Amino acid sequence: MGPAGTTDYTRRRQRQAVAALAAALAIVASVGVNAAFGATTWSRNLYSSSGLVYQDPYPTACTAAAAMMMLNFTAIRHSGGEGFIWRTTRTKNSSDPTNYRDMTSILYFERTHDTLRSSSSGSDPHGWRNALNYYGWGSKAMTDPSRRVYDDLQFTSSGSAVKAAVRAIARFSKPVGILGWAGKHAQVMTGYVVTGQNPALSTDFTVRYVYLTDPLKSDGLVNHKISLRSFQTGTLRYRFQAYREADSPYDDRYTAGWRRSSVLPSVGASEWYRRWVIIAPIRSGLPDSSPSPTPTPTPSPTVSPSPSASPDATPAAAPDAASTPSETQAPSTTEEPAATATAEPTPPETEPPSPAEQPSPAPSDEPAAGEPSGTPEPSG
């Protein structure tokens, strides 16, 4: 072999070595990513454009619009479970005085069933929760805690609140309400992307992204995918902050015990203040309330031998729908509203007034008047 042949052979060997090294580095990088992010990605999204409701032009109707959206998404997905009576609607202020399912009527209902001071505008988490249960599953779901489908939950860290929201969506196929703007605004979480174990079955997972929709049109957040880091520390439009509203001094009359809902620490202890608050499903639908049949005794029963071992406990009911690994459910634009029931909630006895024409306050990380300065950092 001459000098030219030797040079070609050497170059070929060099190219082969470089290619082998690149392949090895790719394998190492892949293993590193899998080790860092977990072997399995689970994603879910309940959003549907046919269920979207903006609060505009009513500046104080965010909780009512959010409640309608949550019930709409549930109806469209057929995930309301036992006793679900809501039918999809997006009517804001009906000209029909007998229509109590429009947004302004729902806001009126919330105001008559919340724990907010009468001089405040909008509603609070108790009013939002009560409207979801009443319009979704009827009066018993609102007044009887054992039949409650949605509940207001509070946490000492944003991380634990977000994980609880993901678990609720995964287990019950229903959206979760987020108390945004430190409690001044209502937003809706419809989905997630997590890595690790299936959140419908386990708590051993890491949240990567959430899907958020805001009823205020100017916020521009519709089915918006947000990283967990941004959700906890990003722009105030969607940063999930601890609740700092202090104008819900009354007790929740539908829950045992007595406690103020949200007041400054100088006034006393309360339920939500300086907590991360969500409105989440806690069961699939109304629990079965049918009485068990009375057993008929059998004459002269035959004695059976004692069992050799204690019977296994009845397994827990499987979640309504598990997450799909590595497959995000894209929002539907063609689904038709589901007419899943014929009954409607009993309307309030009086006609709802128009909501106060008062603009929603802008999000802020400033402390409320009278409270210590400084915003706590999320701990999870």
Q: Is residue 2 part of a domain?
A: no
pLDDT band at 53 (very low <50, low <70, confident <90, very high): very high
What single string gives the DSSP state of each residue in 184-240? Answer: TEEEEEEEEEEEES-TTT-S-EEEEEEEEE-S-GGG--SSEEEEHHHHHHS-TTT--
Per mean pLDDT, which range of 44-53, 85-94, 174-183, 336-345 is the poorest?
336-345
Examine the pLDDT at 368 and tell me if it is beyond 80.
Answer: no
67-81, 138-152, 233-247, 364-378: least confidently modelled range: 364-378
In this predicted model, what pLDDT tens digit does every residue of 58-83 receive, in sequence order? Answer: 999 999 999 999 999 999 999 999 99
Q: How far apart are CA 90 and CA 92, in angstroms?
A: 6
113: left (phi over 0), alpha (psi -120 to 50) or beta: alpha
Say how far residue 369 (Cα) sits from the centre of its chain.
29
In the chain, the largest separation of any two C-alpha atoms, in whole Å, equals 107
Residue at 9 is within a domain = no
**The pLDDT value given to residue 263:** 98
Question: Residue 6: is its pLDDT beyond 60?
Answer: no
In a domain, 272, yes or no: yes
Do 97 and 140 touch, CB atoms closer than 8 A?
no
Please determine, for residue 275, whether its predicted confidence score (pLDDT) is greater than 80. Answer: yes
**Does 331 map to a domain?**
no
pTM: 0.73
* Per-residue pLDDT tens over the stretch 97-133: 999 999 999 999 999 999 999 999 999 999 999 999 9
Q: What percent of the chain is helix, strand and coil (3-state, nearest 5)?
A: 30, 15, 55
Instruction: Give residue 92's domain range.
Output: 46-287+320-325
> For the residues 272-292, what does the mean pLDDT come to?
89
DSSP 183: G
* Residue 178, φ and ψ in degrees, nearest 5: -115, 125
For residue 363, tell me if it sits in a domain.
no
Residue 377 in this model has a pLDDT that exceeds 70:
no
Taking alpha carbons only, the member of 178, 163, 151, 201 closest to residue 317 is 201
- Would residue 7 count as lying in a domain? no
| 174 closest CA partner among 102, 86, 78, 240 | 78
Strands of the chain, DSSP E: 41-45, 150-155, 176-180, 185-196, 205-213, 224-227, 248-251, 260-262, 276-281, 324-325
Instruction: State which of 36-40, 261-265, 372-376 shows the largest mean pLDDT.
Output: 261-265
Q: Burial code of 46-68, b = ≥16 C-beta within 10 A, e = fewer?
A: bbbebbbbbbeebbbbbbbbbbb
Mean pLDDT of all residues in the chain?
79
Q: Which of 39-43, 203-207, 237-241, 325-329 has the lowest mean pLDDT?
A: 325-329
3-class SS of residue 135: helix
* 344 belongs to a structural domain: no
d(CA 164, CA 173) in angstroms, rounded, equals 13
Say whether pLDDT at 272 is over 50. Answer: yes
* Torsion sign over Cα 133, 135, 137, 143: positive
Question: How confident is the model over 218-230, as pLDDT tens digits?
Answer: 999 999 999 999 9
From the list 138, 131, 151, 5, the residue with the least C-alpha distance to 69 is 131
Q: Does residue 58 form part of some domain?
A: yes
How many domains does the chain divide into? Answer: 1
- Which residues does residue 278 pair with via DSSP β-bridges, in sequence order? 153, 178
- CATH at 179: 3.90.70
User: What's the pLDDT at 288?
Assistant: 82
